[in-house]
Chain A
Amino acid sequence: MLPPLDELRRLILTTVPAATVTIVENPGPAAQHSLLIGADHALAIARFLRDSSELRFDTCSNVTGIDWPEREVVDVTRTEVPNPAGGPPKVIETKAKRVVPGCLEVVYHLYSVARKHGPVILRLRTANRADQVTLPSLTPVWRACEFQEREVFDLYGVRFSGHPDLRRILMWDEFVGHPMRKDYVEPDDYEWEPTPHDEVLAKAQRHYPAPPQERLPDA
């Protein structure tokens, strides 16, 4: 039986006491909560999850990436001020903006075929999206991660240390950039767009500037 996530967290922390493990809640109806684990001890945690006789997560079914660009969040704090004229207290809202730094995230879905339970979802985050994008590869623990980590490297630009063969897998080797990043700009080869709309319309108009002609008077 798969222990609940906070129990799993406790089990991990008893085995790898130095690790940081945070539960990331999923507020959606699926309520698939996940464990955010620190990169330093990710390999030790992975080995424990695979080898512990109670858990036996022998299968990594999916590895995927997420790009979190830098974003601004507005925190609203409500304070109640007693109304001097009596009656219900006034509520004053103070808004504070803060910038959440961007990062790249790698998500692993683990199942146990032997114990017939799962999934447990692990998340690893890089320090930023620019130069500190190295995460430990979990391929030494689960061979199934090899191709999918290559895919995350190719499309998101996460560098996996300890990966046996970290090359691009979907794009060609000469390709520059990581197309699944939110700020990727794709090549402008929209020469022919019969029915363009939105962004593609703007591109099509760049290729076909409206002819300098007067519009026909409406009949």
Chain B
Amino acid sequence: MSDAPAPSPISDAERDELRRHGILLTSVQEIYNWGRSHSVWPLQFGLACCAIEMIAASMARFDLARFGSEVFRPSPRQADLLIVSGTVTKKMAPQVVRLWNQMPEPKYCIAMGACAISGGPFKQGYNVLKGIDRFIPVDVYIPGCPPRPEALLHGLMQLQEKIRGQAIAGPDAPPHLRDDVRGDCTVPAFGPHDLIPPKDPSLWHPPVIVRPD
């Protein structure tokens, strides 16, 4: 990869000032990220009740098309965004990770709803994965059961902001522009009682909680 870009010779404020006067100065990084952030194509993929809200968000009333994300792709090969919208059962988890691995970089993941974040109302169950972030790196978490379509729109806007802030070179570059980052995730296997491994330790380890009891 190329070296880190030289620091911009003009500040953002100066650039905005020039824009007001009709002079457009930009960088490759800015225009590249601007383009990417406004054509995030989600994978057409729903898992449970949250998917209904995702569908509602893509319909005329909430109109996801305003943000350039109306093109739900039926193939992971054409998608940029995996919206994990619903309960990930342990039986489904390997398939979800496989879909993620089949998506080309750059790709992003939104964990939509309590189930995708932590197992939600089914956390104490034997068959539900306690959060998709045990296997897939998640960019945006949207809490709710289910989140309103507005919350999904807000999550998408947060993701756009994240995309716009990504450098295209240097140590802050996203994984797909770096050689030192592993591209795909571990697909768990089915074991006699649980997934093997039950979590990807390179991606997720439990937060440290110190109990006073």
Contacts and interface: CB of A to CB of B under 8 A. Distances in A.
Interface of A: 170-177, 179, 184, 186-187, 189-192, 194, 200, 204-205, 207-208, 210-211, 215
Interface of B: 90-91, 118, 124-127, 130, 190-194, 198-199, 205-207, 209-213
Given A170-B127, A174-B192, A176-B193, 19 more contacts: A172-B91, A175-B193, A177-B192, A177-B193, A179-B127, A186-B125, A187-B194, A189-B194, A189-B199, A190-B130, A191-B205, A192-B130, A192-B209, A200-B124, A204-B211, A207-B206, A208-B210, A210-B213, A211-B210
Contacts of B130: 189-190, 192
A190 B125 CA distance: 10
A215 B213 CA distance: 9
Contacts of A184: 126
B50 to A, nearest CB: 20
Given A175-B193, A187-B194, A210 B126 contact: no
A187 B125 CA distance: 9
A187 B207 contact: no
A174 B196 CA distance: 12
B198 A187 contact: yes
Given A179-B127, A192-B206, A174 B211 contact: no
B111 to A, nearest CB: 15
Contact of B192 (A170, A175, A211): A175
Contacts of B194: 187, 189
Contacts, number: 55
Contacts of B90: 172
Interface SS majority for chain A? loop
Nearest to A176: B192
A32 to B, nearest CB: 29
Contacts of B207: 192
A173 B206 CA distance: 29
A172 B129 CA distance: 14
Given A194-B209, A205-B213, A210-B211, A173 B190 contact: yes
14 contacts: A170-B91, A172-B91, A172-B190, A174-B191, A176-B193, A177-B193, A179-B126, A187-B194, A189-B194, A190-B130, A192-B130, A207-B206, A210-B211, A210-B213
A204 B206 CA distance: 11
Given A170-B91, A192-B130, A187 B209 contact: no
A17 B160 CA distance: 74
Task: List the 8 closest pairs (A to B, CB-CB), nearest first.
Answer: A186-B126, A191-B206, A187-B194, A176-B192, A192-B206, A172-B190, A174-B190, A187-B193
Nearest to B125: A186
Most A-side CB within 10 Å, residue of B205, B207, B211, B212: B211
Nearest to A173: B190
Nearest to A168: B91
Contacts of B125: 186
A68 B148 CA distance: 42
A77 B91 CA distance: 52
Contacts of B205: 191
B192 A210 contact: no
Contacts of A186: 125-126
Contacts of B192: 174-177
B88 to A, nearest CB: 13
A11 B32 CA distance: 79
A156 B91 CA distance: 18
A196 to B, nearest CB: 9
A204 to B, nearest CB: 8
A215 B127 contact: no
